Structure 1
Amino acid sequence: MTQSVKTRPVHLKWLDAAGVEDPGLRDAYECCRRLHADYGRTYYLATLLLPPGKRPYVNSLYGFARYADEIVDNGDARTRADDLTEWSSRALAGLRAGTGEDPVCRALEHTMRVWDIPIDHVEAFLKSMHMDLTVTEYRTFEDLREYMYGSAAVIGLQMVPVLEPLDPEAYERAAALGDAFQLTNFVRDIAEDLRRGRLYLPLEDLEAFGVTRERVAAGSIDRRFVDLLKFEIERIRRIYAFAEPGIEMLAPSSRDCIRTAFLLYGGILDEIERAEYRVLDRRVAVGITRRLRVAVPAYRRARRLWHGANRFPHEGN
């Protein structure tokens, strides 16, 4: 990844609004923004509802996570364990010392310093990424939650300072929302994950419904599989319901962003039901019409709240 990038004028304005002046740091944030735009379409769309000065910080959080995920999922199978270990060690050392040269690490270090985000969250995330190299299934939901703490919950926890919580309870709700987002992905992406050798539905759930991993891998969608997905979706919706009150615990200028993500990710569950649970032979997605129907009114509301919303509690550059 190179730091020599060309940034569009609109994105330069985001960096200006965020108070990011150093040319190398601006390039680092642009690298993260491109990762975010290329790989996280729904999340990126929701981020556009934040005040412009906050968007680079969210880009950096996503960019770092995605970069690590790419090593795990798409790196050379012969070397990815060593590659992840080497990169993780270098990233953590750079984050602790504030001297990282890797663009995604440099942007993340700056974001963590501006918003006082604990490095413990990054350590937990990287621990879960290492689990993906060796753990291919989870016996219980509690086992899965241990993995999701680092892969999903801490992403929500990292976001909260940038979103400016009005109530400490916002952290617990944000962690739950991170779990709900990832569980939604797990149900949608069963076939894709199996091709990578992983299954994120708890084995105890499969056994309860008489489903085997082998039959799922073979693409068998029968009544038992449908009942299993109904069970998983009901649990995910309960987690969404717990997380939803946390949206009102954030600064007004942050709420439309998170509510849009909440509605669009939750909409994936609706689409799975509409597709009659056929997630093994297709990738179910929320259509562009529904995305726009949710995002456009939210964008109009959000714009009215942007003026004066950028506050940076720590040193910017």
Structure 2
Amino acid sequence: MNNPSLLDHAVETMEVGSKSFATASKLFDTKTRRSVLMLYSWCRHCDDVIDDQQLGFASDIVSLQTPEQRLAQLEVKTRQAYAGSQMHEPAFAAFQEVAMAHDILPAYAFDHLEGFAMDVREVRYETFDDTLRYCYHVAGVVGLMMAQIMGVRDAATLDRACDLGLAFQLTNIARDIVDDAQVGRCYLPEQWLQQVGLNGINYAAPENRQALSRVARRLVKEAEPYYHSATAGLAGLPLRSAWAIATAKGVYRKIGDKVNQAGKKAWDRRQSTSKPEKLALLVSASGQAVMSRMMTSPPRPAHLWQRPH
């Protein structure tokens, strides 16, 4: 039986942790929205545990465990959730409910945890393909799990869902370059930094913002074919889910546009969308969702990064 307190916890997590997706999440039907929020609360919790944060912000309680120990605990608890053990933490109780209800593959959940493991190992990203591999683990596989919640099982539509996750994460990386640098993380391809005269040490310095903005623009540009591919996948979703996903897609693309337009000032403040902008994007997305019912999806471009099968 559904636990209403878990939903309250998940709603709060979404409202605080991802204002960009919170608006879109309200468009799902009641059952789908509950599961989407539950999955998000687990993803957010895992992220917070690794970063020793609370809902994306510094926690008042400092963990005495190492990141490696915290990661190992997340893996153990995820296995326990799949094994049917009683889960006492809200995020894991929520995940267990979702995973069991929608047959979410354990491989997807552990692929997501591998993204946090990459942070713990302080993986460096030499090429754009390396960055895309990270994007898959932290966001592309979340797209796969979200799509399963929406009833998707065919590989072609799952590919499109993964593409949307990749596009979201590329946008996030462009927006958060300086914030990430402040905690010692860089997801930018080192090859790209070298091409504009930067390196892994000086790239986020204030005097290098003009060169850094060129790298950010390149990231935003590289996200576009993945956004385009995701649009073609709307036809494989139920109508209300297609509307929600099209709205989220519009919000994230708008953030990428703002990073582009701001240039070297992109990191003076966190780029986001206003309530009027979100409303306009919501209306536009409704048209995309309806039109997707009438269109045949073109083949997915062969040059796009392919998720592991």
Paired positions, count: 281
Question: RMSD across aligned C-alpha pairs, in angstroms?
Answer: 2.4
* Residue 16 (structure 2) pairs with residue 38 (structure 1): yes
- Distance (whole Å) between structure 2 residues aligned to residue 167 and residue 88 of structure 1: 28
Give the TM-score normalised by the residue count of structure 2. Answer: 0.83
User: Contact conserved, 2:193 with 2:203, CA < 8 A, in 1?
Assistant: no
Alpha-carbon shift at residue 266 of structure 1 (Å): 0.4
* Residue 30 (structure 2) pairs with residue 52 (structure 1): yes
Alpha-carbon shift at residue 171 of structure 1 (Å): 0.1
User: Contact conserved, 2:210 with 2:264, CA < 8 A, in 1?
Assistant: no
- Which residue, out of 128, 139, 144, partners 1:141? 128
Output one character per residue of 1:208-267: Cα deviation in whole Å (capped at 9) or x when no partner: 222223332212345533332222221111221222201122112211100000101000
User: Contact conserved, 1:117 with 1:158, CA < 8 A, in 2?
Assistant: yes
Relative to structure 1, the CA distance from residue 222 to residue 98 in structure 2 (aligned partners, 3 Å threshold; closer, same or farther) is closer
Q: Which runs of 5+ in 2 are unaligned?
A: 54-61, 290-309
* Equivalent position of 1:242 in the other structure: 229
* Equivalent position of 2:150 in the other structure: 163
The aligned amino acid for 2:149 is V
Give the TM-score normalised by the residue count of structure 1. Answer: 0.81
- Distance (whole Å) between structure 1 residues aligned to residue 225 and residue 201 of structure 2: 29
Relative to structure 1, the CA distance from residue 32 to residue 88 in structure 2 (aligned partners, 3 Å threshold; closer, same or farther) is farther
* Equivalent position of 1:216 in the other structure: 203
The aligned amino acid for 1:64 is W
SS of residue matched to 1:67? helix
- Distance (whole Å) between structure 2 residues aligned to residue 97 and residue 245 of structure 1: 37
After TM superposition, the structure 1 = structure 2 runs for residues 98-113 of structure 1, keeping only pairs within 5 Å, are: 98-113=85-100
User: Contact conserved, 1:49 with 1:257, CA < 8 A, in 2?
Assistant: yes
* Equivalent position of 1:227 in the other structure: 214
- Which residue, out of 175, 180, 200, partners 2:162? 175
- Distance (whole Å) between structure 1 residues aligned to residue 284 and residue 250 of structure 2: 13
- Distance (whole Å) between structure 2 residues aligned to residue 276 and residue 176 of structure 1: 26
- Distance (whole Å) between structure 2 residues aligned to residue 48 and residue 69 of structure 1: 23
* Equivalent position of 1:79 in the other structure: 65
The aligned amino acid for 2:177 is I
- Distance (whole Å) between structure 1 residues aligned to residue 253 and residue 33 of structure 2: 22
* Equivalent position of 2:248 in the other structure: 261
Alpha-carbon shift at residue 29 of structure 1 (Å): 3.0
Relative to structure 1, the CA distance from residue 120 to residue 136 in structure 2 (aligned partners, 3 Å threshold; closer, same or farther) is closer
* Equivalent position of 1:116 in the other structure: 103
The aligned amino acid for 1:79 is Q
User: Contact conserved, 1:117 with 1:161, CA < 8 A, in 2?
Assistant: yes
Alpha-carbon shift at residue 170 of structure 1 (Å): 0.8
The aligned amino acid for 1:146 is R
* Equivalent position of 1:251 in the other structure: 238
- Distance (whole Å) between structure 1 residues aligned to residue 193 and residue 142 of structure 2: 28
Relative to structure 1, the CA distance from residue 240 to residue 283 in structure 2 (aligned partners, 3 Å threshold; closer, same or farther) is same
* Equivalent position of 1:197 in the other structure: 184
The aligned amino acid for 2:232 is P
Q: Which runs of 5+ in 1 are unaligned?
A: 1-20, 303-317
- Distance (whole Å) between structure 2 residues aligned to residue 194 and residue 33 of structure 1: 30
Of 287-296 and 203-212, more deviation after overlay is shown by: 287-296
- Distance (whole Å) between structure 2 residues aligned to residue 96 and residue 62 of structure 1: 21
Alpha-carbon shift at residue 163 of structure 1 (Å): 1.9
- Distance (whole Å) between structure 2 residues aligned to residue 192 and residue 150 of structure 1: 20
User: Contact conserved, 1:29 with 1:104, CA < 8 A, in 2?
Assistant: no
* Equivalent position of 2:278 in the other structure: 291
Identity %: 25
User: Contact conserved, 2:10 with 2:38, CA < 8 A, in 1?
Assistant: yes
| Bigger RCO of structures 1 and 2 (CA < 8 A, at least 6 apart) | 1
SS of residue matched to 2:265? coil
User: Contact conserved, 1:189 with 1:279, CA < 8 A, in 2?
Assistant: no
SS of residue matched to 1:217? coil
* Equivalent position of 2:40 in the other structure: 62
- Distance (whole Å) between structure 1 residues aligned to residue 231 and residue 286 of structure 2: 19
Output one character per residue of 1:92-130: Cα deviation in whole Å (capped at 9) or x when no partner: 223223432222111111111111111111111112112
- Distance (whole Å) between structure 2 residues aligned to residue 269 and residue 140 of structure 1: 21
